[in-house]
Structure 1
Amino acid sequence: MTSFDALYHKSKAPVLSATERRKSAILVVDSDPQIRQTMRQSLMGLGFGTLSDAPDHVIALEKIEDRHFTHVIFEAKSLRISSKEFLSRALELDSKMIAIPASYEPTVDDVFDLLIQGARGYIVKPFTAESLDIALIMSTKGEPISDAVLNARNRNEALAALVLSSLDKLAVLMRQAGQFETARRELPKRALGLRRSVDLGNTFAKGGPLMLRETLIDLCIERSNGPASRLGRFRKRMEVKKKREDEEESLQDQSSPSSEGTEEERETETKSLKPSSDGIIL
């Protein structure tokens, strides 16, 4: 059976066909003319079709108004306008366009906020032709980052949970792969999901990879104290729910008078309303 290490390092990304590449129209936005030129040459070598570039966000918006681009790769810094304003206006002009911020320091440039805003991926500079290709493929065909991660109050916990969830899915599939061909075919995809979640965590965890590792350790310890299986966790939740309902019912019983006491009070009231032998209601 394929080892975990082999799967992790040989996981395959989705593929863009030659036709899909030729039909792509990519706009490169960067203040450095050398980067624009290098990126255009790399994209041309990768087989992508129509290529255009702009030195700042304002000129880029003018180009987006004039024609349709399938992708825009833009510098995650303020170029006459902020990168957030550019992304917002660009997606207003063309909501189907795939926006990919590029940065030397994704954490410093708040690339994560751009992902929340609608960017589909990111490129870390300095890039290679391979990293550029992978970023474009994953942004186009890869699974988007879940809203639960993007909008989490505690980003590190959400990123750590994503890593563990991806690892759990891969481990389950590896167990099933010995019996089912469909599971074996899914292994590269699950391995890629784990690689991507680890890369995402290392890039965007507050405090860097070290803090992500600490959060992962804490989360693993926390999970180790609970039931090991999904069924066990479900039973545990049901036990907690039943206990809570029993406690609430007990509190309600304590706050209301007993049924016997209520019946005795009714009998006393009835007797007090009966007329006496003198015809006077007591």
Structure 2
Amino acid sequence: MVYKGILKDGIIFAAKVFNVQLEGAFKSFDTECEILRNLRHRNLTKVITSCSNLDFKALVLEYMPNGTLDKWLYSHNLFLNLLQRLDIMIDVASAMDYLHNGYLMPVVHCDLKPSNVLLDEEMVGHVSDFGIAKMLGAGEASFIQTRTIATIGYIAPEYGQDGIVSTRCDVYSFGILMMETFTRKRPSDDTFTGEWSIQRWVSDSFPGEIHKVVDSNLVQPGDEQIDAKMQCLLSVVELALNCTLVTPDARIGMKDALSKLKKIRLQLVNCQH
């Protein structure tokens, strides 16, 4: 559970309290402490302190007043425009690039999804919840095996089937996250059954029919910027598909994905001026 608190000096914080009755709670707490203690990036949730004894474990985190990306995608009274969604994806990609390439040992988040992307007062995205994250270790193999299973719908095939975790698993999850952000459809939606998945749905529409799958609120008939917006969405969908290829080594790396997103944003902004 996450609680909101206010200190005497008026500083607002979030307290993430672990249910110590749940199996794996201690390990999850230790993992988050270990990883977040050493990582520093503007797009990662900042830990202020931690509290720990036999009966109580909690992390005190920087408070994010705008809640989760999940809330913004699915609340009827909230809306993110195309540029806002693009900016949040760049924020997430920046955090993931840092985890994979900017630290001594590569860190795999393992559970990237909209509810784990928090938004601050400026609508800047912060990646949170490192409870099942894995550190690959310096100079070791580029993957490890685990029995820990992440959220269905966002898991890379090799992770779901064989428990193989690598940075390319996060790339796959990021691709699904992008698809969800720009289509406003969950990978767990009832329409996706058997072999039919969000990845297949988006892939089958590309490139000629992506107007049928992207969030209709993003591109309205009569919009002066419709061509620029559709080009932007085409580029985003193409990148998402390159992130979700079945073979891990065939997927684009996080650094290149971030670079492509920044170029897509630049093209969109240039067309709007």
| TM-score after normalising by structure 1 | 0.30
Q: Which has the higher contact order (CA 8 A, sep 6+)?
A: 2
Structure with the bigger percentage of helix? 1
Structure with the bigger percentage of strand? 2
| TM-score after normalising by structure 2 | 0.30
Structure number, greater radius of gyration: 1
